[in-house]
Structure 1
Amino acid sequence: MFSDIGQLIFDNEAVAKTQDFTMGLEIEMQRVDETGELSQEPYPAGAGDERTNPWITNDFLETMSEVVTPPASHALDAMHYLFSLNNALRTALSPGELLWPLSMPPRLPEDKSTIPLAKMGPDKEAYLKEWVKRHGFSAGTPCGAHINLSIDEHVFELVYEHQKDRFETRVELENYLYTVIAQGFNRYRWLITYLFGASPIAETGYFDKNAGPHHPVRSIRQSSYGFGTKFRGDYTNVQRYVDRIEKGAKDGTLISDYEFHGAVRLKGNSNLKDLPKTGVKYLELRMLDLDPSSSVGVRTGTLRFLRLMASYFIMTPALHPEEVEKVIKRADEMNEIVSVEEPTSVTQFQAKAKALMRRLEMYANQIQLGPEYQEELEDLEDRIENPYTTPSARLMTHVKNDSLEEYALTRAKRYQNSALETIRPFKGFDQKRKLSAEDLKTELFKGSWEPQ
């Protein structure tokens, strides 16, 4: 079952280190008013400067708030950061403002030119205007949860020490392992869409008349009807990943390399061209819809499952290089099929989903993960067996007059009221201070929690 690298890690009793991913979260949510329309209020002053605050900012629209956590060693720590920053944003909102808990936006006006794009400086604003020209306004409005994962340093140290004959440099090893994980997540993106898809319908104004799917689906956002460009990345290796994106920017398919919004992005520095030389430092996973059953848009169990998948990809045999493009192309086709299936229908790939979940359960048992992982796997296996338990199907029980507005506003008000009841509201961004990660930890928790 294990690859040669996986066996090396297993034999050296270091499997636990493949679970110790450093994790950062980026969660987007739209600001709305109490009637369910995009907010007309200015950017909340209590959230600091949207152009310089690294922890709360904007993306695409002036109303699309994005909370960004510092890297954390454990899923629970990342969630504590996220919860506290989410509360900080909520308490900074104007009276009557709410955070829309769904990935698909609230109802949009006919004249979308009245909705301001994010004010992020001249270069970013010019980019956003060009993006709207190419793709249309609606396509940029869906929100999601982005998960950043970094492999524990001990894994690199162990593997590089024993496999210097295979990897000439430490960077070469880093690029290889991150590429292997990226291949795995792209290959099984369709399963993540099935398990966590939560955008079955769109509100009024998102689609033009007679456009869009003709029935509710698992995830509009993860389908061809959803966010952004349909440019497929090359995950064979880091150099080919960079070359494909640079070619797209050069021939005008992409506005710039920044426009590549694949389901997985390799991240390392601001200069994409240098990535093969300087090395990938983390992966950005972009395939999660917001989970409206959580005030912060994602659940701790979901993060544990993604960490388990990433660990499994490190430990098990990778695709042969000549197979990568073909396998991921097929996986993209499978993801499209899954994303537009009826939410309550058994997925066409149920047998494949069960087989992979059995393999993940076997792996979790082999490395003796705790009961929280077993419980999460059991819950997810139930979703595969019974599609009515998936997030998209659960949402369909709340649809009224082809809309989720009433449900979304009820949730949004509940979460907002909870945030406003906090004993010690966070005021750290009032003076538009740019807090470091260490400053943020001190300001947010003041002894109540100590993230690693």
Structure 2
Amino acid sequence: MTTLYERRLKLLQRPEHHKLFTGIRHGIEREALRVSPDARLAQTAHPRVLGKTLTHPYITTDYSEALLEFITPVHNRIDDTLDFLNELHVFTSKVMGDELLWAGSMPSILEGEARIPIAQYGHSNSGVMKSVYREGLAHRYGKAMQTIAGLHYNFSLPAELWYLMGQSEGVEGNDQTFQSGFYLGLIRNFRRYSWLLMYLFGASPAVSKSFFAESKEAHSLQELDRDSLYLPYATSLRMSDMGYTNNAQSSLNICYNTVEEYVASLSKAIKTPYPAYEKIGVKQGDKYLQLNTNLLQIENEYYSNIRPKRIARRGEKPLTALGRRGIEYIEVRCLDINPFEPLGISSSDAHFLDVFLVYSGLKDSPAMTTEQECRRTTENFRKTVEEGRRPGLMLESERGPVSLQGWGLALLEDMLPVAQILDEANNTTRFTSSLTLQQDKLNDVSLTPSAKLMHVLQQDSKSYTDVILDLSKRHQAHFAENEVNRERQKYFESLAEESIENQRQLEASDTLSFDEFLQHYHGSD
């Protein structure tokens, strides 16, 4: 009996359907700390010539005023996405003076919470809300965690695909229902197999001791040198217990089986009081400390490896948009910055991500209904981020124990038809080539980014800070040697000026006090 995956492959391998896979849509969000020449967190304001972070479409900040975020527009071709991302880096690097873009996910030298400036977005209600939300994150989790940088990969498949597969599979309901169901299946499989991405792309096995400067537990990390802590076989400290996790959220049971269940479970968390946050309070005098005292201030506070997304309309909450119109695209959030790549990601990395995501969507993906399976996926991910390079490491599949290497190679072999379809559709060999590169990493752990970084640290007897600072300087020199063309330069300059004017208009148009604005926000659907 053929599987759903085999039937879908047979359908999509027909030459007349190949063109569908030229319509994949990509977007990348890359975070990078601004640092001084001696690797300390920049204390300067966001450069004015880059425009206003609240209203600029492509250059903004994440948690800190020093944590830049570059956001590309959506492109069909991976290379177009990366070209635009490169232009953003080149344009920005030329207006940063002697500051650098930090090349690693784990932060540069931190000098205490007082020296981690929260991002500022002006005086409009929406801008103040963004800053108050970040203030809440500081009180809940500490500022150091918020300086960790990552790369988000946004991905969607063309609408024609939903119609074709829905018709073939005799699915009842509209294309949007099928589309949302497909993306949820992709997300469930992503959770089952995302340990593989951490082995292949994890790039944060070490961290500066300054990350723990204010008595934060260093967990089970070992000392590498006077500056650096590490785990011997780790792939990604960023995604471990010391990174984007917290005890409050461990109690959440977010369901990915239907859109309705997902929206309901997150909405419940936003409305559920949490005693530790109630102790903090919402305000101290006139100063807001957080947006509310519930498990989550807003949906974005939920730290997940992957998110279903829908672009919200003006004045509409993201969860409301998702509930009304279903899933539009997915956002992969577990990717470390590759410190050896100027953009934090290579073209071959991105080509493989397409293969992995299409495979995760096409593959049979039963609902995750048992606590045992949820525990298994969580434990496989934890093992890989903490000890993924350990020789002979065993993971737990639904059929029992299996070696990471053996399971990884089997998955890549199962993905090969997907890579071949994508190659045919795009008249290239880069998708199958990206698969081969990942097979090489599974056969030789020294080729993984985490192993390469550890090799440099140990071979050159350099600290984490010194190694990443050297790479940051190298990338800065790379951007300095490049130029954006004159037309693009003018475009970025005009966007900066437009963002300044748009923020001015936004601030002038507010009619409610922030108290009233927040009350209205909490009360809206």
Q: 1:107 aligns with which of 103, 106, 109?
A: 109
CA contact (8 A) 2:13 2:421 kept: no
Q: Say which is worse superposed, 385-394 or 336-345, in terms of deviation.
A: 336-345
TM-score (norm 1): 0.88
Please list the CA deviations of residues 221-252 of structure 1 after superposition, one character each: whole Å capped at 9, or x if unmatched: 11121125445532112111111111111112
Partners of 1:423 and 1:364 in 2: CA distance:
34
Say if 2:186 is the partner of 1:151.
no
CA spacing shift, 1:377–1:235, aligned 2, 3 Å: same
2:446 maps to a residue whose letter is Y
Task: Tell me how far 1:326 sits from its aligned partner.
Answer: 4.7
Q: Say which is worse superposed, 7-16 or 167-176, in terms of deviation.
A: 7-16
Q: Say which is worse superposed, 195-204 or 343-352, in terms of deviation.
A: 343-352
Say if 2:298 is the partner of 1:256.
yes
TM-score (norm 2): 0.77
1:221 maps to a residue whose letter is R
1:166 maps to a residue whose letter is V
1:62 maps to a residue whose letter is E
Partners of 1:322 and 1:116 in 2: CA distance:
41
Instruction: Supply the RMSD in Å over aligned alpha carbons.
Output: 2.4
| Equivalent residue, structure 1, for 2:197 | 192
Higher helix proportion (structure 1 or 2): 2
CA contact (8 A) 2:199 2:388 kept: no
Say if 2:254 is the partner of 1:233.
yes
CA spacing shift, 1:410–1:114, aligned 2, 3 Å: closer
Task: Tell me how far 1:192 sits from its aligned partner.
Answer: 0.3
| Equivalent residue, structure 2, for 1:408 | 468
CA contact (8 A) 1:198 1:395 kept: yes
Task: Tell me how far 1:346 sits from its aligned partner.
Answer: 4.8
1:14 maps to a residue whose letter is H
Partners of 1:188 and 1:398 in 2: CA distance:
29
Q: Say which is worse superposed, 355-364 or 395-404, in terms of deviation.
A: 395-404
- Identical aligned residues as a percent: 26
Task: Tell me how far 1:214 sits from its aligned partner.
Answer: 2.2
| Equivalent residue, structure 1, for 2:182 | 177
Q: 1:353 aligns with which of 402, 408, 428?
A: 408
| Equivalent residue, structure 2, for 1:136 | 142
CA spacing shift, 1:213–1:87, aligned 2, 3 Å: farther
CA spacing shift, 1:313–1:142, aligned 2, 3 Å: same
Q: Which runs of 5+ in 1 are unaligned?
A: 436-452
Partners of 1:34 and 1:340 in 2: CA distance:
31
Partners of 1:170 and 1:133 in 2: CA distance:
43
CA contact (8 A) 2:66 2:119 kept: yes
CA spacing shift, 1:10–1:127, aligned 2, 3 Å: same
Give secondary structure in 2 for the equivalent of 1:57.
Answer: strand
Task: Tell me how far 1:313 sits from its aligned partner.
Answer: 2.6
For the pair shown, the structure with the greater C-alpha radius of gyration is 2
| Equivalent residue, structure 2, for 1:450 | none
Written as runs of structure 1 = structure 2, the 5 A alignment for 1:13-32 is: 13-15=16-18, 17-18=20-21, 20-32=23-35
| Equivalent residue, structure 2, for 1:418 | 478
Please list the CA deviations of residues 399-452 of structure 1 after superposition, one character each: whole Å capped at 9, or x if unmatched: 2667222221222112212222334573544463348xxxxxxxxxxxxxxxxx
1:257 maps to a residue whose letter is E
CA spacing shift, 1:413–1:344, aligned 2, 3 Å: farther
Give secondary structure in 2 for the equivalent of 1:285.
Answer: strand
Q: 2:432 aligns with which of 363, 374, 394?
A: 374
1:211 maps to a residue whose letter is A
Written as runs of structure 1 = structure 2, the 5 A alignment for 1:308-319 is: 308-319=355-366
Partners of 1:328 and 1:394 in 2: CA distance:
32
Q: 1:213 aligns with which of 200, 220, 223?
A: 220
Please list the CA deviations of residues 39-87 of structure 1 after superposition, one character each: whole Å capped at 9, or x if unmatched: 1222112211111101000000000000000000011111111111111
Give secondary structure in 2 for the equivalent of 1:397.
Answer: helix
2:254 maps to a residue whose letter is G
Q: Which runs of 5+ in 2 are unaligned?
A: 122-126, 223-230, 273-293, 395-403, 500-525
| Equivalent residue, structure 2, for 1:433 | 497
Q: 1:242 aligns with which of 257, 263, 283?
A: 263
